[in-house]
């Protein structure tokens, strides 16, 4: 299959440029994870970096929280593809000031693996200027969910409740301790592996995990699929204390946005697989309209807040 078109932003323009530079050595770039044929199924693989002073600060989290969070962030890419978690590799770079806490970091990795029912199968260790964890995840899927499968007539669903990580980050940057519920959502996210696999097996057409903000991430699905996703602001499920626009902008949620047939949320409830909320609809672009995400408040379009872009610092 060809590379997938990416949504807007300096980071993704750079990725598109690098894909062109790689030429024939790049293979089907643009999804949450790589998908490779493997027997009667597919190998699904992804890698994710968690870097001190970029993704977290030492004062905010315990060593175990850091290990858990880095592991679940990487596993979330498998969840978005509807894959299980076969194993992970963990590469750690750390300065000497972290030596006494690295056992705690690895305890968090262990706890996350136990929760996800997976194992550590290898990794690497080296010195670095700050703590850096790079987690590579390996999984298996019989029907991988991609970003380019959304079709007109689908509904848009989201897992969980949004806004907690953004609220926690705002509190810390403002010099305050976040509310416990918000801190927990930032420090201990849970990759939606079971729900992602259920969606893949029950008619979902596309999915992506939420790392840069709902509108920004869903835009990748819209562009890859050539559709418009209309999202009703009031329908977005929110953590206590998070308003709708903050929930829309909150990144590093590690929830899933899924497109699929109408009624997928009701089917999930009847199957006792809770956690899907319908927030919008997918349609074909109108005349002169490009594939995009439109945020609506009572049917009136509003400008979404910008998502995170690693190469712009926003």
Inter-CA distances, 155 with 63, 176, 305, Å: 40, 38, 22
pLDDT at 226 over 50: yes
Mean pLDDT of 89-118: 98
Rounded to 5 degrees, φ, ψ at 149 are -100, -5
pLDDT at 311 over 60: no
Report DSSP letters for 108-169, one per residue: HHHHHHHHHT--EEEEEEEE-SS-EEEEEEEEEESS---TT---TT-EEEEES-BSHHHHHH
Question: Residue 269: what pLDDT?
Answer: 83
Query: How sure is the predictor about 10, in pLDDT bands with cuts at 50, 70 and 90?
Result: confident
In CATH terms, 31-141 corresponds, of 3.40.50.300, 3.10.129.10, 3.30.1330.10, 3.40.50.2000, to 3.30.1330.10
Rounded to 5 degrees, φ, ψ at 251 are -100, 180
For CATH 3.30.1330.10, list the domain ranges present in the chain.
Answer: 31-141
Beta-bridge partner residues of 229: 282, 293
Which of 104, 34, 32 shows the shortest CA–CA distance to 69? Answer: 104
CA distance 59 to 68: 16
- Across the chain, what does the average pLDDT equal? 90
In CATH, what class is 155-302?
Answer: alpha beta
Maximum alpha-carbon separation in the chain? 61
For CATH 3.90.650.10, list the domain ranges present in the chain.
Answer: 155-302
Are the C-beta atoms of 147 and 33 separated by less than 8 Å? no
pLDDT digits 0-9 by tens, 149-187:
999 999 999 999 999 999 999 999 999 999 999 999 999
Inter-CA distances, 226 with 114, 150, 164, 241, 279, Å: 39, 8, 31, 35, 19
Mean pLDDT of 69-80: 97
pTM of the predicted protein model: 0.89
Cβ neighbours for 67, distance < 8 A, ≥ 6 positions apart: 104, 105, 106, 107, 108, 109, 110, 111, 112, 133
Mean pLDDT of 256-284: 90
Beta-bridge partner residues of 277: 158
Give SS3 for 225.
helix
């Amino acid at each position: 299959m060809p590379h997938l078109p990416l949504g807007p932003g300096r980071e993704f323009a750079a990725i598109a440029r690098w894909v062109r530079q790689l030429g024939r050595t790049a293979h089907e770039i643009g999804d949450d994870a790589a998908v490779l044929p493997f027997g009667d199924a597919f190998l699904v693989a992804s890698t994710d970096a968690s870097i001190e002073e970029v993704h977290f600060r030492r004062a905010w989290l315990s060593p175990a929280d850091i290990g858990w969070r880095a592991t679940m962030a990487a596993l979330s890419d498998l969840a978005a593809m509807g894959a299980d978690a076969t194993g992970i590799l963990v590469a750690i770079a750390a300065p000497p000031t972290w030596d006494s806490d690295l056992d705690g970091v690895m305890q968090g990795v262990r706890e996350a693996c136990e929760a996800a029912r997976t194992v550590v199968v290898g990794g690497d260790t080296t010195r670095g200027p700050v703590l850096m964890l790079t987690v590579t995840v390996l999984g298996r899927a019989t029907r991988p969910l991609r970003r380019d499968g959304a079709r007109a007539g689908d509904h848009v669903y989201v897992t969980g409740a949004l806004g907690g990580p953004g609220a926690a980050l705002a509190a810390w940057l403002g010099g305050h301790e976040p509310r416990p519920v918000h801190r927990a959502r930032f420090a201990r996210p849970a990759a939606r592996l079971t729900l992602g696999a259920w969606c893949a097996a029950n008619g979902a057409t596309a999915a992506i995990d939420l790392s840069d903000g709902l509108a920004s991430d869903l835009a990748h699905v819209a562009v890859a699929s050539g559709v418009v996703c209309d999202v009703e602001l009031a329908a977005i499920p929110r953590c206590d204390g998070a308003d709708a626009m903050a929930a829309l902008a909150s990144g590093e949620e590690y929830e899933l946005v899924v497109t699929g047939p109408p009624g997928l949320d009701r089917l999930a409830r009847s199957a006792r697989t809770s956690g899907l909320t319908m927030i919008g609809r997918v349609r074909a672009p109108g005349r002169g309209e490009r594939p995009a995400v439109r945020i609506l408040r009572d049917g009136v379009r509003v400008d979404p807040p910008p998502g995170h872009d690693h190469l712009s610092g926003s």
